[in-house]
Each structure stands twice: as structure tokens, then as C-alpha cells.
Amino acid sequence: MQFTKPNQVKDAGPSLDAPRDSALSFVLFNWENFNHIRAKKLFTKKDLDRVNRSYRAATPWDKRIIPAFPERAVSLKTLWWPAAGDGKTALPVWDNEPTQALDDNNPFRTWKRVVAVDGTRDDVPDTETADITFYDTAFPSSRVVGLNRFYKLRVDEAMLATIDAIKDNGVRILVKKVLGRDLRIGDYILFLGFHVTTKEIDDWTWQTFWWHDKPRDGKFALGRPDAVKGVWRNYLMAVVVDEVSPREPDGSPLLGFNPWLEGAFRAGTQSNCMNCHHRASHPRVSFLPVRRGPPDTIDDPAFKRGRLQTDFLWSIVDQAK
């Protein structure tokens, strides 16, 4: 697995303090998504320029777009966390209670609570606690959770070799900060959550999931079907199929974010993922600031005449060489 920092974090600039504020990431496309990119030659800047030149100069931004993806296309951005196989590892938990202002950054190192993941046991009593330190901050009497609460990968020789070969230094920085040492055989990579987007509607559907030690509590636990079994019942979910509706209780546009990704950005906990992806275009512009509600198609540089819209996928722009 080619773990790396999420592209959002890489492109946010030094203000984000990226190595400290990013989990590990790995992006996947299903066959329909991958095949469309290859067949339509959407994987190089040269080819994106070619598509862009195929339009007349007067073509407005909302008509200047790459060939639309098939309705069965799926894109998946996964998030992971290192855990020691021989002891306890701190894992921050987002309780939807920001410690910073809502219009500020709320990266995981600022969250109120952590759990202690015991890498030596599957089952842990619900009432067990332990003192643990995270990013030089002490968290006394933190809840201890076992490995059976996670989808996980055991680090073996082959995975370690792959990770050691990664050029992204942010991966090593995160591992050393969390574990206090380098990753080694017998450790674990825990599945924190994921973004998944599907081309079932023109603007895609947007779902995001993240792990929580109390997955039956709160609004993000509502509607979980009985068909969801095992470790997958430990993940919360938010869904977005519109930039505005259904509105929040205060009448403001719909919120939809993953705390592990958008929490690190200024006002990220007040954002909507569809609004951000609506801006995906070539040549690349910064995805910041993240917002919610309809995009600003008048003043936002992402919507200027002459730019090529990439059908809501930043990954097209991110991976084009």
C-alpha cells in the first residue's frame, strides 16, 4: 500500500503544519472510474490541456468539462492510523466539540479526547481505562479499546518494505510522533475512515465515515441498517447529495465533512464536501478556503472562463503529471 499524506494536506501549505495534522491515506478507484480515466486519457496535464483546447474560447465554465464519468464510477479516499502491536497507542476521537473557534483550524492534535488502543488484545472491558500521552499532552484515565473494534492490517515484512520505500516524509513523521519510534513488524495500521463518492447523480453522491468508540450515540449514528455487521458498526457517517439541503437546524446550508480531513482546515468543521469538489478544475487552483452552500461562480478563480472542470474530482488534477 502506498500510504501518503492526503492531497488536501499536501496542498494546504505551511499554515497547516501538515506532518502533524494528517493521518495516512490511500486512494482507490473502482474499475469504471479507472477505465474512464485511462480510456479518455485524463491522467496527464498534456491530455487535460488537449481536452480544454477542444472547446471554443467563448465556452462558459459550466460547459467546459471533461467527459462525464459513468454512473457506476466510485472513488474512495481511505484514512489509516499506526498502532503499536506490543502496547497501547493514543488515538484521538472527534466528539463534535471543537476546542478551537469554528472558523479556525481544528486538527486532531487539538481534540478533547483520546482512546488507548491496546495492540495486544482483541477484547477489552468497556470500563477499562489507562493513562496515556499524545503529542506531549497527558490524557489520564482514557478509555482502552481492543483491536476487535477496528478493520486493521498487520504490518508484515512486505508492508514494512513498501512503507519504508515511500518518499513522503510526512508518513514517517506521523508514525514516529504517534508511536515514539518507527513502524515495525507486528504493529498495526488501523482503518480510521474514508470518503466515498459515487456517480449515481450528475453531481455525484458524497459519503464520509470515521471511527468512533461510541458509534451508537449522536446524529451521525442515526439510520445505520442492521445489514452493517462486525467492525463496520464502529464507524459514523455523514451524507451529502446537495450543497444546501437539507438545511441545518439554524437554517444555514448543509454541513458535510470528515473531522480527520477537513478538521485541519480553517472553518473545515463548517464545510460541505460537495462545495469543495464543485471547484475541482484544471489548471489546478487551491481548494482552500473550504466552504458550504453554493459556490461563488463569479469571483472564485476555479470558475473563470478558460478553465476545464474535472467533474467534481480533485483526484484528476492531483494525479495528472
Instruction: List pLDDT tens digits, range 19-77.
Output: 345 578 888 999 999 999 999 999 999 999 999 999 998 899 999 999 999 999 999 99
Residue 138: count of CB within 10 angstroms of its CB: 9
**Higher-confidence residue: 149 or 172?**
149
Query: What pLDDT is attached to residue 12?
Result: 42
Instruction: List pLDDT tens digits, range 268-281.
Output: 999 999 999 999 99
Instruction: List pLDDT tens digits, range 144-163.
Output: 999 999 999 999 999 888 88
**Could you give the percent of the chain with pLDDT greater than 90?**
74
Query: What pLDDT is attached to residue 3?
Result: 56
Using pLDDT thresholds of 50, 70 and 90, give the confidence band for residue 2.
Answer: low
**What whole-number distance in Å separates Cα of residue 11 and Cα of residue 24?**
15
Query: What pLDDT is attached to residue 198?
Result: 97
Under a CB-based contact definition with an 8 Å cutoff, are residues 159 and 26 in contact? no
pLDDT at 236 over 90: yes
Instruction: List pLDDT tens digits, range 285-321.
Output: 888 888 999 999 999 999 998 999 999 999 898 877 7
pLDDT at 14 over 50: no
pLDDT at 143 over 60: yes
Report the mean per-residue pLDDT for the chain. Answer: 90
Fill in the amino acid letter for 143. Answer: R
Using pLDDT thresholds of 50, 70 and 90, give the confidence band for residue 6.
Answer: low
Across residues 105-112, what is the average pLDDT? 93
Query: What pLDDT is attached to residue 164?
Result: 79
From 13-17, 28-32, 79-83, 137-141, the region with the lowest mean pLDDT:
13-17
Q: What's the DSSP call for residue 51?
A: H
Using pLDDT thresholds of 50, 70 and 90, give the confidence band for residue 103.
Answer: confident
pLDDT at 1 over 70: no
Using pLDDT thresholds of 50, 70 and 90, give the confidence band for residue 17.
Answer: very low
**Higher-confidence residue: 6 or 97?**
97
Fill in the amino acid letter for 151. Answer: Y
